[in-house]
Amino acid sequence: MNITTLLLTTLFAAAADKEPAKESENFYRAARLGDWIEWKSGSEKSPVIMRHSVIAKSDKELTIRIDQNVDGKAAKAIEYKVDLVGPWPPVMPPNPDLVTKREELGSGTETLTIGDKKYDCKWVKTKSTFISTFQKKETTTVTISKTWTCKDVPLGGSVRAETEINGKVHTTEISGFGRGK
């Protein structure tokens, strides 16, 4: 899986697992310049490390840089801007070629120990079905995701995510974070 596919899969799964947010629920508003979070996925032989860092912030917009390292090789950094005025994830315009159905399968609380750190988490397990009719060819993709978040972790608090797509489970886990000023 190339890094662009991994990034898009991770971001898409995270966005798909959230109901449309109310304007007050944009967690990026609480971010500070210098906040960062890093996740690790893949195997020990083929690790993927992704670090999100807040590099600029105004009243209306936040800029995040994503640094990626795949198999020990740095990939080109990606920067994107987040609207702080509207909701997160942003409301997407309707796409007639894509139907998304989301079903919550369960939720709860759990304390995860990752490395030598304990995280008091909320978790949600969902089933998302994506039906694409792009170019009149129907394709259905079903994902089962379980995500753990912790209020003490910046940038949305994502601590762990397990996403099953086409029978394969992809796990992403926090490897560090820090708070800015």
Q: Are 77 and 68 in contact (CB under 8 A)?
A: yes
129-177 tens-digit pLDDT: 999 887 788 889 999 999 999 999 999 999 999 999 988 999 999 999 9
Query: Using alpha carbons only, what angle is made at residue 178 by residues 176 and 180, rounded to the nearest 5 degrees?
Result: 160
**The pLDDT value given to residue 134:** 79
pTM: 0.79
Rounded CA-CA distance 88/20 in Å is: 8
CATH of domain 3-176: 2.40.360
Domain coordinates of the chain in residue numbers?
A: 3-176
Rounded CA-CA distance 140/15 in Å is: 18
pLDDT at 16 over 60: no
pLDDT at 10 over 50: no
